[in-house]
Amino acid sequence: MKTTRLNVRMSQRRLNKLRSYAVMKDKTVTQIVEDWVDRLPNPESVKNNADPLPVNPAD
């Protein structure tokens, strides 16, 4: 599997929280982020399950 780099800007507080959570779960930060991304719904299933917009929306 080819890997790609992802840069994310966040506060030092959030980064510390993420690192602490990873340590608590005995995982790397990368594994935590990958697990989160894997839990996202597939774009096709979201697209197919979207509620249709009303024809005449109320103002």
pTM strictly above 0.85: no
pLDDT value at position 48? 72
User: Residue ranges of the domains in the chain?
Assistant: 12-38
Euclidean distance between CA atoms 45 and 42, whole angstroms: 5
Residue 53: predicted pLDDT:
65
* Confidence band of 59 (pLDDT split at 50, 70, 90): low
* 53, two tokens: 């917009």
Q: What is the pLDDT of residue 22?
A: 98
How do residues 6-58 score in pLDDT, each as one tens digit?
Answer: 999 999 999 999 999 999 999 999 999 999 999 999 888 766 766 666 677 66
